[in-house]
């Protein structure tokens, strides 16, 4: 079962891609999945960078409220 929003979206797109027979639509779905992977990699890199930075309490609280930190 998917754990993240990215994984959920990819699972949904993968299911549709498997059901589609039109080559142009398959290409578009595959491209969308690749772009989704790129976005996930960028978010992961951003989260890792935030984990490595020393933040003051106020900045950390703001980032937690926005969902960037846990």
Task: List pLDDT tens digits, range 26-58.
Answer: 999 999 999 999 999 998 898 888 888 888 999
CA distance 14 to 34: 11
pLDDT at residue 52 in the model: 85
Hunting for tokens 């976005």 — which residue is that? 39
The pTM (predicted TM-score) of the whole model is: 0.74
Alpha helices in 1-70, H assignment, sequence order: 5-19, 23-52, 57-66
pLDDT exceeds 90 at position 70? no
Specify the residue for token string 């935030």: 50
State residue 10's pLDDT score: 96
pLDDT given at position 1? 67
pLDDT of residue 17: 96
Q: Which two tokens stand for residue 42?
A: 């960028």
């Amino acid at each position: 079962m998917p754990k993240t929003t990215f994984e959920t979206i990819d699972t949904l797109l993968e299911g549709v891609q498997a059901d589609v027979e039109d080559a142009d639509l398959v290409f578009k779905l595959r491209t969308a999945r690749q772009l989704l992977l790129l976005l996930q990699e960028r978010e992961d890199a951003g989260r890792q960078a935030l984990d490595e930075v020393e933040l003051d309490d106020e900045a950390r609280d703001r980032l937690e409220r926005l969902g960037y930190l846990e």
